[in-house]
Amino acid sequence: MARPARLKTAIYELIAQVGKAAANPVRLEILDLLAQAPRTVEAVAAGVDQSIANTSHHLQVLRRARLVDTEKAGQYVTYRLTDPLVGGFVLQLRTLAHARLAEIDRVRRDYLEQRGALDAVGHDDLIRKVKSGEVTVVDVRPGDEFDAGHIPGAISIPLTDLKKRLRELPKSREIVAYCRGPYCVMATDAVAMLRARGYRAHAIEQGVTEWRARGWRIATSNGRREGARP
């Protein structure tokens, strides 16, 4: 009877390696960032506001747990998630935390409501409006993230470029902005800027990670599409 117990212990020890690797706020943020697009160590460090040395350490922990992998091109090493399941794992962990920790919603709500830009726009309503030409969907993430995957029909205007590219957005149409998901403030900042200039603008909480996890279609700049549902 001892053998099955040893088997379970050995398996759970291996499973725990994944949990240990993810049990760090910086590493969770890194995984969330890499779910948007592959990045170099330098780009990851800038994205999570950490030193390159600290970021490299966190990436090595994630790599040992086989949550991220590397690809070398010349002098640069690019990190990427090993599998879309990793992004799904982070999303499920986040969903569980939201269900058990009411503080998350309160902190997020208090912070975002100060901007006055977060509106709930349902997926079905968004798709209908996109198909009928009623809205312009704007991806305000950096361009490389848009290239790696975006909501079909969206146009790429990074937040840093929005002010100088306002003329590309018609005021006769409603603007729907999105970024990296519910903790990303780029879309809300974009909406605040647009509304201050007379645009009818809204932000949606869903980012590419959320769309991909639900099986909704994701487009890439090379024309490839993921997911079966519109």
- Residue pLDDT, tens place only, 158-183: 999 999 999 999 999 999 999 998 88
With respect to residue 107, please indicate whether it lies within any of the assigned structural domains.
no
Predicted confidence (pLDDT) per residue in 7-37, tens digit: 889 999 999 999 999 999 999 999 999 999 9
User: Which domain-ending residue is among 68, 88, 108?
Assistant: 88
* Residue 221 pLDDT class (50, 70, 90 cuts): confident
Average pLDDT for residues 104-117, to the nearest whole number?
A: 71
Predicted confidence (pLDDT) per residue in 137-155, tens digit: 999 999 999 999 999 889 9
143 is in which domain, residue-wise? 116-226
**Phi/psi at 158 (5° precision):** -55, 145
Write the secondary structure of the chain as one string of H (helix), E (strand) and C (coil).
CHHHHHHHHHHHHHHHHHHHHHCCHHHHHHHHHHCCCCEEHHHHHHHHCCCHHHHHHHHHHHHHCCCEEEEEECCEEEEEECCHHHHHHHHHHHHHHHHHCHHHHHHHHHHHHCCCCECCCCHHHHHHHHHHCCEEEEECCCHHHHHHCECCCCEECCHHHHHHHHHHCCCCCEEEEECCCCCCCHHHHHHHHHHHCCCCEEECCCCHHHHHHCCECEECCCCCEECCEC
Q: Are 73 and 133 within one domain? A: no
With respect to residue 168, please indicate whether it lies within any of the assigned structural domains.
yes
pTM score, two decimals? Answer: 0.83
CATH of residue 44? 1.10.10.10
Q: Are 122 and 215 within one domain? A: yes
Count of Cβ atoms closer than 10 Å to residue 5 Cβ: 9
Q: Are 206 and 141 within one domain? A: yes
Residue 1 confidence (pLDDT): 47
Show which residues are catalytic.
179
**Phi/psi at 183 (5° precision):** -100, 0
Residue 225 confidence (pLDDT): 53
With respect to residue 167, please indicate whether it lies within any of the assigned structural domains.
yes
With respect to residue 165, please indicate whether it lies within any of the assigned structural domains.
yes
With respect to residue 94, please indicate whether it lies within any of the assigned structural domains.
no
pLDDT averaged over the chain?
87
Q: Say yes or no to pLDDT of 113 above 80.
A: no
User: Which domain-ending residue is among 88, 103, 127?
Assistant: 88
With respect to residue 96, please indicate whether it lies within any of the assigned structural domains.
no
Which tokens sit at 32? 């969330």
Q: Are 84 and 163 within one domain? A: no
Q: Are 127 and 75 within one domain? A: no
- Tally of structural domains, the chain: 2
Q: Are 83 and 126 within one domain? A: no
- Give the type of residue at 129: K
Predicted confidence (pLDDT) per residue in 39-81, tens digit: 999 999 999 999 999 999 999 999 999 999 999 877 888 999 9
With respect to residue 144, please indicate whether it lies within any of the assigned structural domains.
yes
Cβ distance 22 to 90 under 8 Å?
Answer: yes
Average pLDDT for residues 1-6, to the nearest whole number?
A: 64
Q: Are 210 and 157 within one domain? A: yes
Q: Are 124 and 199 within one domain? A: yes
Cβ distance 181 to 207 under 8 Å?
Answer: yes
Q: Are 161 and 80 within one domain? A: no
CATH of residue 185? 3.40.250.10
Maximum mean pLDDT: which of 126-140, 181-195, 203-217: 181-195
User: Which domain-ending residue is among 88, 104, 126?
Assistant: 88
Average pLDDT for residues 126-141, to the nearest whole number?
A: 82
With respect to residue 137, please indicate whether it lies within any of the assigned structural domains.
yes
Cβ distance 225 to 217 under 8 Å?
Answer: yes
Q: Say yes or no to pLDDT of 120 above 60.
A: no
Which tokens sit at 33? 């960032």
Q: Are 79 and 130 within one domain? A: no
Q: Are 213 and 121 within one domain? A: yes
Q: How many residues does the chain have?
A: 230
Q: Are 77 and 161 within one domain? A: no
More confident residue, 26 or 2: 26
